[in-house]
Amino acid sequence: MADEGDWQRSLLRELSEGGTSGMHLDPPERSAPEGQRSDPETVLPRRQAPQHTQPVIRGPRAPQVPVPAPESVPTVDPRLAIALGRPQHGDSMAARTGRSLRKLTTSAAQEVVEGTRLAQEIQQPVTTGRVIAVTSIRGGAGKSTVSALLARTFNHYRHDPVLALEADAALGTLPVRLGAESVRWSCTDLAQILNPSMQLTDVSGYLVPVKDGGWLLPASQGRVGAPLDVPAYRTVTLALRRYFGVTVVDCETLPGEVARTAMDTAHARVIVATMTAEGVNGTRVVLDWLAGLPHAALATTVVVLTATSPDATLDPKAAAAHLREAGAPVLLLPYDRHLAQGGPIHADKLAQATREAAMRLAAEVMQRAVKAR
């Protein structure tokens, strides 16, 4: 326990020395430092100074290999961004009114007790940074949505820094879901830049600060380019575990090589399945594969069954029972109008059932992640 306290205390101390406090760090300057702008082709990237403070220089930080400073690229074409429309609430007006009335009854007290229990599970201290990999066997199952909800929930309840890492170079949507307006440094860039002498304040200069709190490292700049490879993924996750209490990894679909590595090396795993016969069937095959891995991977796996369409007809109970047979817990993420809309996830627009599902999932996953070696 003493080690746990020291690890988290020193991180928080480092954050406050850099002129920041807790998880709500001042966003670093997003534009490239002057030196980089004047010679954009090949420069040694260095820490970008936080906006409101003087940079704290603690020693040599330059990477060994010169890395070209990438341009900052918008996550959504500005012409499309203005056409996004107003975010709608996940719950209808009638449902929201009904809930306000129910708050006056005794069942509200039970909800508070349950909420407190889940919050305590999510807040469990960790000895070293925990990595949670989110993947699926089918594209479009809801991986990025679940990753964004998880990262947001961890960030809301935990006191240590939380990172959302995108490990899906196929033009993934995690930056958009987390409300990032532009991206710059990618996971592949950081694999060449990170070195053991860097402090969190140095590393955060290469990350995107998420509006709700926490940090994002995208897999790409939203262009078709070189895919993330396994060595880069391993380098980045291993190095960043030092700085972040929890890293949520939004993976490509299985059986991609990076997704398999992420599943194999994570402390806990989330497999997302759509509420369709194909989604459930394919996910059962993945669970049986996990059961065959040497280090009890199934014991640290949670399945999320998502309803990405309001027209799903598969019986959720039957689907969940089929998946539970494989030996992993199954949680339901119900259909949510706000999530279906696409674009940035606004916490205040999520349906109540979505918030509760995200909280239960974060608690289930954290329970497993803390126990893993």
* CA pair distance 194, 183, nearest whole angstrom: 18
Closest distance of CB 252 from Mg ion, Å: 8
The answer to whether residue 305 forms part of the interface with ligand ATP (CB under 6 A) is: no
Nearer to Mg ion, 253 or 301 (CB): 253
CA distance 363 to 361: 5
Among 172, 209, 256, 279, which residue interacts with Mg ion (rule: CB under 5 A)?
172
Answer whether 9's CB lies under 8 Å from 15's CB.
no
Burial class from Cβ neighbours inside 10 Å (0-12, 13-18, 19+) for residue 311 reads: exposed
For Mg ion, the closer CB: 178 or 330:
178
- Identify the residue whose tokens are 């205040």: 348
Q: Which stretch binds Mg ion (CB under 5 A): 64-72, 168-176, 223-231, 305-313?
A: 168-176
CA 242, CA 161: separation in Å to the nearest integer? 11
Q: In terms of CB distance, is 169 or 194 closer to Mg ion? A: 169
Binding of ligand ATP at residue 300 (CB under 6 A)?
Answer: no
Which position among 136, 155, 247, 300 is part of the footprint of ligand ATP (CB under 6 A)? 136
CB 161 within 8 A of CB 243: yes
Q: Which of 270, 290, 282 is nearest to 322 (CA)?
A: 282
Stretch that binds ligand ATP, among 17-25, 117-125, 136-144, 150-158 (CB under 6 A): 136-144
- Contacting ligand ATP (CB under 6 A), which of 48, 201, 220, 308? 308
- Asked if 145 touches ligand ATP (CB under 6 A), the answer is yes
CA distance 152 to 143: 14
144, 155, 199, 201: residue in contact with Mg ion (rule CB under 5 A):
144
Binding status of residue 332 toward ligand ATP by CB under 6 A: no
> Quick one: how far is CA 185 from the chain centroid?
17
Give the rounded distance of the alpha carbon of 51 from its chain centre.
Answer: 24
From residue 334, give the alpha-carbon distance in Å to each of 86, 214, 307.
22, 25, 5
Which of 139, 225, 255, 327: binder of ligand ATP (CB under 6 A)?
A: 139
**How many residues sit in the footprint of Mg ion (CB under 5 A)?**
3
Q: Which residues bind Mg ion (CB under 5 A)?
A: 143-144, 172
Q: Which residues bind ligand ATP (CB under 6 A)?
A: 136, 139-145, 168, 172-173, 253, 306-308, 333, 335-336, 339-340, 342
